Structure 1
């Protein structure tokens, strides 16, 4: 069985449904990779970009040392178990983002480094995730998956469109990539041929095909297939249940309960559950090779999210829902630190899930570049002279973690140089990108 080779990617299929398989030793399921010059039996490199707005606690975003001995500031403490896989990058910035000195002008080009148009006009630059999707993403069912946990804001703030604060992924200079907020629709996009409600679950639709496949694979692959199908079923069940709770987070409307029937596939009211569902969908998309490029915007810059799920240090009788995220970012209090750590816990959760999925001799985390960034260092100052950036994972053996790279006092410290390095590891080689003309050699 190990000698079998499929020149096209292998799917389980049902009526209106297709599911890409995880890595199996019995088949070279990745298919031919003409765009990336990879061997068909090698798991591909994935890119996940996570973003949280408004920066971090100004005194607790730091790292020093190497490997397992690396010391981390309190913001990064949830990532302690991954210190030897962590690349902490200090001092990179976007020159164009410094010109407006407001949230929108600092976020709309976070993944492109392009100039931002003011006056309510929408013009930025194609982001590097979408540049990858145009080439590297052609071999997958979904070229890129763009997820979010907070609604877009269409207003204008200090002469800049707030759409810049709401979107980090741009398909063209004038087109923010559509952002999927609904877990059910994101799930459908991965596994259904048409995004529409159905009477049968994804797994029911492909069960017969899965049973036939199970007879043709090794015992270890049978266990892996069963584990994968169980994980899909678990997420599907959680999506069905999401939003059915009576508790509404943060601000309380005049009605205690909706006065109309809630749609079955809505947005979860609990922000922790919303983020967790999106994180699981991100992992499933990579695990099944349905997509290799995902951006997950945990919140907007200038965010209005509240966090009643987190206990307050500063107001012990309350959760952290007495102030929206944006206003909270203008302090360096204990509650702000707890919110920062909550975001890092989402990164740690994704890394942990990925590291539990074996793909040949490596794990999914080993085959992924998981990046987290924000548009400013500290919300109180709107400081974007150096941007907070970390990477986790191995990039298919091409990315070395357990290091701190400091570019703060170096002349060529464009963040786009990091993007050129990351694209190079995915075998996409633009000569320049944004304001960068060369890669970061150390990455």
Structure 2
């Protein structure tokens, strides 16, 4: 046993703050207690579902081959470095989503496969992330983290509530899980015990505890702790700066300038900053084991976001999705860059013999293949090896197979977490090869 092995301690504490720690070899976390002869616990397996609306460029979402030789279509080029650790899945569909054939009816059940109530009512089904949270979420400070980069839309479109287009996570059939679009509040939820004490830096609050901890850990853990604390400080500083720029996203306001004072902690006005902050918060949440379950909705289906950072400011995302243009491809790649960013950050976090990416299942999907509402073969990519339980570096094509339901994929993924169900959504069988 290492001479540096200390008693179980996974939190740094300060006034009004409790900040979870990353995996450190000197600390007995995730399974082993002092005085036992058990093998040191492995890092937990996390699950994240990332979503973007309105599909992708018809001609450029594809992959073929395997491993290092896998070829990726232009939309997926940002994931090139992860070819050996991804699954490209083609041909899955959500049967209930085909009934409405419109954005809301294809998104509100993307993670559940449940039938949706029409006529402006609200009824879907519990989503895979929340089902996992009910079974395993109580082991962490935050049972599940539900993040977004575009606010919910409460209107009705073609007989379906637009809340379906705005929420992929559902804690009950009638309750979309509350969506956090404010980076500062998401950050506070992870690290603050009393959100009212928000005038003090999280790091400043726990600095004394961190100094005490450094005296009892190994040299490599000291370096890892310093890197982690620096990353927290960087996110704090970026949140503080967020919203100070004047480059507006999405819909156009009636005023050129605000007629009320700017809130201290708001939504970043640059969509690239907003997405990166939410990606960083997801990574921090997993890195600190504050939660093991997260959904990140990068935008709504039927989205109103614009992308001045890409020079694509002349049309909202939803309308752009109906044009198979170079600008549409550029926006597609921008979303995939966020997925690659999350994967890269997780892969830089060493957890024993694996990285945090190896210990995660990161699923990225949309509720349609193209902007023409084609939900017969959904775009799905999975990154990470699920703690060694997923064989990656493959292209799986289910288009001509009898079982090609999204809920069959979810049953297979839940098996990796030890949750074995006879049925989920519209499926009672697993997906072959997962």
Tell me the TM-score normalized by structure 1: 0.94
Answer yes or no: is 1:138 the counterpart of 2:138.
yes
**Are positions 1:100 and 2:100 aligned together?**
yes
Q: Does 1:115 align with 2:115?
A: yes
* CA displacement at 1:268 relative to structure 2: 0.3
Is the 1:147–1:296 contact (alpha carbons within 8 Å) kept by the matching residues of 2?
Answer: yes
Aligned counterpart, 1:397: 388
The aligned residue for residue 369 of structure 1 is 361
Deviations 1:188-226 (A, max 9, x none): 000011333522110111111111011010111011001
Q: 1:245 to 1:2 in 2, by over 3 A?
A: same
Q: Match of 2:208, SS?
A: helix
Moved over 6 A (4+): none
1:331 aligns with 2:332: no
Q: Which runs of 5+ in 1 are unaligned?
A: 311-318
Structure 1 contact 76–341 (Cα < 8 Å) conserved: yes
Structure 1 residue 429 displacement after superposition: 1.4
Summarize the alignment of residues 15-30 of structure 1 with structure 2, pairs less than 5 Å apart.
15-30=15-30
| Equivalent residue, structure 2, for 1:424 | 415
Shift of 1:31: 4.5
Question: Does the C-alpha gap of structure 1 residues 159 and 255 become closer, same or farther in structure 2, counting only changes over 3 Å?
Answer: closer
Match of 2:10 in 1: 10
Coordinate RMSD, CA, aligned: 1.6
Of 396, 400, 413 in structure 2, the residue corresponding to residue 409 of structure 1 is 400
- Per the normalisation by structure 2, the TM-score is 0.96
* Residue 269 of structure 2 corresponds to residue 269 of structure 1: yes
- Corresponding position of 1:353: 345
Q: Is the 8 A contact 1:6 1:29 kept in 2?
A: no
Contact 2:359 2:384 in 1 (8 A): yes
Distance 1:191 1:414, change over 3 A: same
Task: Measure, in 1, the Cα distance between the counterparts of 2:187 and 2:31.
Answer: 23
The 1:252/1:123 distance shift into structure 2, 3 A limit, reads closer
Q: Aligned partners of 1:270 and 1:70: how far apart in 2?
A: 34
Is the 1:301–1:326 Cα contact (8 Å) retained in structure 2?
A: yes
1:344 aligns with one of 314, 336, 350: 336
Map 1:376-395 to 2 at 5 A: 376-380=368-372, 382-395=373-386
Tell me how far apart the structure 1 counterparts of residues 276 and 64 of structure 2 sit (CA, whole Å): 29
Return the offset for 1:393. Answer: 0.7
Provide the C-alpha distance between the structure 2 equivalents of 1:251 and 1:156, rounded to a whole number of angstroms.
18
Q: CA deviation at 1:56?
A: 0.5
What is the CA-CA distance between 1:6 and the residue it aligns to?
5.1
Structure 1 match to 2:128: 128
Could you say which residue in structure 1 is the equivalent of 2:233? 233
Structure 2 residue runs of 5 or longer lacking an equivalent are none
